[in-house]
Amino acid sequence: MTTPDNPLDLKSFEALVEWAVSYLHFKNALRVIAIACTPEIARSYLSSFSDFCTRYATEMKKQDILEARLPKEMLESIEAENSHRALLRQLLNG
């Protein structure tokens, strides 16, 4: 399976999984590559890292609580900058 063009220059799904040797790498790949744009790749990637997924889901819940206190305009701006988070929430919670 190939991955979209990305700043990390990882061309295959296997290279992406091998590159993500730590939780920091795992999170960086989710953000930088925006793999959540393709649900199939996101689902496969997340299933390769079950421990990291649990930790990331917990962090997302905490982040959602913090962001809920922000003004609506700021929330919309955050969601626009991190559009992949909606799909990640759906994949992690369902």
Is position 42 within any domain?
yes
Closest CA to 63 of 47, 84, 78: 78
Is position 83 within any domain?
yes
Is position 19 within any domain?
yes
Is position 5 within any domain?
no
Is position 8 within any domain?
no
Report the Cα–Cα distance between both ends of the chain, in Å, rounded: 23
Confidence at residue 22, expressed as pLDDT on a 0 to 100 scale: 95
Q: Render pLDDT for 39-90 as a digit per residue (tens, 0 to 9).
A: 788 888 889 999 999 999 999 999 999 999 999 999 999 888 887 788 888 8
Domains identified in the chain, total number: 1
Is position 26 within any domain?
yes
Contacts of 12 (CB under 8 A, 6+ apart): 1, 2, 3
Range of the domain at 57: 13-93
What's the predicted TM-score (pTM) here?
0.79
